[in-house]
Structure 1
Amino acid sequence: MQKFSWFLILVPVLLASCQGGGAGSGRVEVVVKNPENYAQQDVLVHLNVQDLLAKHPGLNFAKIKVVAGAPLPFQIIDADANGSADEIAFLIDLDAGASKSVYLEPLGPDEKAPEFKKRTQAELSHKVGGSWQDRKYQGGQFQNVTALSVPPEHTDHSWYIRYEGPGWESDLVGYRFYLDWRNATDIFGKKTTDMVLQNVGQDGFDSYHEPGEWGMDILKVGESLGIGSLGSWLGDKALRVETTDSIRCEIPLNGPILSMVRTNYSGWKVGDQSTDAQVDLSIQAGSRMTRCDVMLSQPLPNLCTGIVKDENAPVFNDDGSQEWAYLATWGSQSLAEDQLGMAIVFPKQALKEITEDAHSHVVVFNPEAPKLSYYFLAAWEQEPGGIKTQADFQNYLNTVCRSLSHPVQVTIK
């Protein structure tokens, strides 16, 4: 039986007219249906707290478990950090065309909250205890933080932020972006399903460029969009988020099944226009994909993203049959000199054009959109169970687009 592990953040949630768990039972039934004819693993389902409370007022989200025969990994999400739960997310495996009942159940009087293996991580680490000398940070030691307003002294190669920016990973792959004027995303190829970012860059500022037991930095970004970096198409080239008044980066989620990096760019300037931008980068367990959600205070024309060019990796795209589409490359383009596939996955209705400049293959989105969501992903042949051929990579991407175009159906009873 074919199985597919993929990434989903938003699913349609229906409110059923019946009370599946009984009015006073404290047990909530949620039915999840796979509309596709292939099995899906590690489907991430989000339940909106307000939808749950509309059917089950008084539900205590601090003392629950999620079960479908056996306990399911779940996470309470407070994405706006206001101290109140916004969503409950859980992972589930679904057979082809199958429906499965999932239950939110109260913990027993002496029952402890379940713990789950950590399969995602997001972190941000900068030096403390040293001092700035011109634009270099001298001395000190790295300390993980949940937020950082980037100091004006900071630039590329300031030796201030561990691996030069925030990082996020799943059990399959890791990413980072440069938290400076470059604002480009890079890839950490992984040889293990364990979490590794907490150790990366601890033994030397850029030691991750050399192969390690855990993996390595596998992408040369240069002046390009790297993989999935946000930019704006101006004239005949892609401009990254280079000129801003200030940057603040936060880690709102660092959980077992979902983690997120949030960056606020104040005064992002593109040509003669300016806007504030919030960019959320999230990753789920069992997935290669990062979801990028962009919100602008003022619309900018021609938002774009893309993939670094490499003469060893031809570019290709989908057949246009699904609501979601992709632009991808495959070939011997990793810094380990082996096979690496990269892709941008986007809603077809948001596409203006696919183009290129000197450094990147570029996806340009419809102008004047204040909100935008897309995915990017990397598949390295050395990852656990890695994809080895372009044909398999294309099949994987086709299934990604099909699953995003026909998401699982969720009903709260």
Structure 2
Amino acid sequence: MNKVSFKLICAIGCIFSCFLYGQRSVKVVNSLDFSRNEVVAIPRTMLKSFLHKNSEEELRIKDAKGKWLPIQWIDYDADGKNEELLFLVNIDAGKTNVYSIVADGSVQIPGIGISTYSRLVPERVDDYAWENDKIAFRVYGPKGQQEALQGIKSSTLSSGVDIWLKRTDQPVINKWYKGYLTDPMYYHKDTRGEGYDPYHVGNSRGTGGIGIWKNEKLQVSQNFVTSRTIAEGPLRTVFELTYQPWSEYEVKETKRVSLDLGSNFSKFESAFESEKPVPNYTIGITLHKNEGKTQLNDQNGYYLHWEKIDDAFVGEGIVINPKIVEKSIAFTSNVPDESNLYVITKPYKTLTYYAGFAWQKSGQVQTEKDWEKMLQKQASIIAKPLVVEVGE
């Protein structure tokens, strides 16, 4: 068989395969000057023609080299119908990658050994905790609020966001809370080489809690009252929290939080309704005892805190579209938990921002400058997201 005949047979085979299984191309464009390893979302509406002939269960994605990629479907509104397909993209600076969507249920979706995860934690009152391979967070629920008001010291009355310092890419939530059942200090000690929780939240904003700034005071909600897990992972975990009406404005808030694999930043999306006009919504980072360093960058929409906790440094930060920011301040006070970095935003009905951190012992950052570069990159990613196009 000559080379021309062989190529013709291959081409016919490829066409037949595409007809038989159904195939589409996905083009992903990175317009930034650094490489990106991100989770990409394809709305179901962009897959309508493919799914008209093929089922979700058969869908697979492979890169230009023929490597099959991890994927994840998400049903955001719990109606039994997925709205979004996720897959992980590794793309060089200024490049365009092309992927293939194929209907072939015989191909096993590859695992990746790491994951995102979140859940309500009834064994520790009723925290809600979430994590990925880089970082972990938690917030506090209604039973914790009730116990705190009763004076039980192990419970927390706060809508601030706690951070857990990890130095492993493996999940810790279930392991640490299991340890807590026999030793309440289990995850407050870094004795296993995985990290720990030395971070104090109290009535502060922690890393990414919100409020309303008025007359040099922050009005805040109490603990969340309901939670709903939307997706556990492996590429993205998503959940929603609701709060009782709070502040003098009787704000009703539903907060959706998501965390992608490989990211140091949780995405927060709060939807608000209020009884009367609200002057602003304000995002905060605790300054603890005012011993760390802060940087406020309204022009580019990133805000930095760099502090020493025990024997290592931690960088906390907020990243947001600068167009919705009114101003920012590093507010200091002698009252415990009232010193916070505040990002004061215009009072839109939906507030979207990113909050995250990096710990020196995780190996991700060593200096304040390293952390600032991570914040700068995240600001660029928000400003210029990866462009995704689905073709025939």
Q: Are 1:199 and 2:167 matched, yes or no?
A: no
Q: Which residue of 1 aligns with 2:95?
A: 98
Q: CA deviation at 1:71?
A: 1.5
Q: Which residue of 1 aligns with 2:312?
A: 338
Q: 1:282 aligns with which of 258, 268, 286?
A: 258
Q: Which residue of 1 aligns with 2:270?
A: 294
CA contact (8 A) 2:69 2:110 kept: no
The secondary structure found in structure 1 opposite 2:177 is coil
**C-alpha distance 212-86 of structure 1, shift in aligned 2 (>3 A):** farther
Q: Are 1:360 and 2:340 matched, yes or no?
A: yes
Q: Which residue of 2 aligns with 1:327?
A: 303
**C-alpha distance 396-114 of structure 1, shift in aligned 2 (>3 A):** closer
Q: Are 1:71 and 2:32 matched, yes or no?
A: no
Cα distance between partner residues in 2 of 1:212 and 1:233: 40
The secondary structure found in structure 2 opposite 1:201 is helix
The 5 Å alignment of 1:217-256 reads 217-242=197-222, 247-256=225-234
The 5 Å alignment of 1:135-154 reads 142=123
The secondary structure found in structure 1 opposite 2:376 is helix
Q: Which residue of 1 aligns with 2:387?
A: 409
**C-alpha distance 37-160 of structure 1, shift in aligned 2 (>3 A):** closer
Cα distance between partner residues in 2 of 1:123 and 1:231: 24
Cα distance between partner residues in 2 of 1:188 and 1:327: 20
The 5 Å alignment of 1:83-162 reads 83-108=80-105, 110-126=106-122, 142=123, 160-161=125-126
Q: 2:23 aligns with which of 15, 22, 27?
A: 27
CA contact (8 A) 2:39 2:260 kept: yes
Q: 2:247 aligns with which of 261, 270, 276?
A: 270
Q: Are 1:172 and 2:134 matched, yes or no?
A: yes
Q: CA deviation at 1:276?
A: 2.2
Cα distance between partner residues in 1 of 2:19 and 2:246: 54
The secondary structure found in structure 1 opposite 2:53 is coil
Q: Which has the higher contact order (CA 8 A, sep 6+)?
A: 1
Please list the CA deviations of residues 161-219 of structure 1 after superposition, one character each: whole Å capped at 9, or x if unmatched.
Answer: 3xxx1111110111111223411111110111101111113223342112132210131
Cα distance between partner residues in 1 of 2:20 and 2:210: 48
TM-score normalised by the chain length of structure 2: 0.83
Q: CA deviation at 1:116?
A: 3.8
CA contact (8 A) 1:249 1:264 kept: yes
Cα distance between partner residues in 2 of 1:25 and 1:98: 29
Cα distance between partner residues in 2 of 1:221 and 1:319: 25
Cα distance between partner residues in 2 of 1:395 and 1:269: 36
Amino acid in the other structure paired with 2:80: G
Q: CA deviation at 1:403?
A: 2.1
Instruction: Count residues with an aligned counterpart.
Output: 347
Q: Which residue of 2 aligns with 1:382?
A: 361
Amino acid in the other structure paired with 2:366: K
Cα distance between partner residues in 2 of 1:285 and 1:300: 35
Q: Are 1:313 and 2:278 matched, yes or no?
A: no
Q: CA deviation at 1:391?
A: 1.4
Q: CA RMSD in A?
A: 2.2
The 5 Å alignment of 1:54-65 reads 57-65=52-60
Q: Which residue of 2 aligns with 1:16?
A: none
Amino acid in the other structure paired with 1:337: D
Amino acid in the other structure paired with 1:94: I
Identity of paired residues, percent? 22
CA contact (8 A) 1:63 1:113 kept: no
CA contact (8 A) 2:210 2:283 kept: yes
**Structure with bigger gyration radius:** 2
Q: CA deviation at 1:347?
A: 0.7
Cα distance between partner residues in 1 of 2:234 and 2:297: 32
Q: CA deviation at 1:96?
A: 1.4
The secondary structure found in structure 2 opposite 1:397 is helix
| Larger strand proportion of the pair | 1
Cα distance between partner residues in 1 of 2:241 and 2:345: 20
| Larger helix proportion of the pair | 2
Q: Are 1:184 and 2:184 matched, yes or no?
A: no
Q: Which residue of 1 aligns with 2:46?
A: 51
CA contact (8 A) 1:125 1:166 kept: yes
**C-alpha distance 399-62 of structure 1, shift in aligned 2 (>3 A):** same
Q: Which residue of 1 aligns with 2:336?
A: none
**C-alpha distance 361-63 of structure 1, shift in aligned 2 (>3 A):** same
Amino acid in the other structure paired with 1:200: W
Cα distance between partner residues in 2 of 1:188 and 1:260: 18
Q: CA deviation at 1:261?
A: 2.6
Cα distance between partner residues in 1 of 2:312 and 2:319: 23
Q: 2:325 aligns with which of 351, 354, 358?
A: 351
Q: CA deviation at 1:25?
A: 4.7
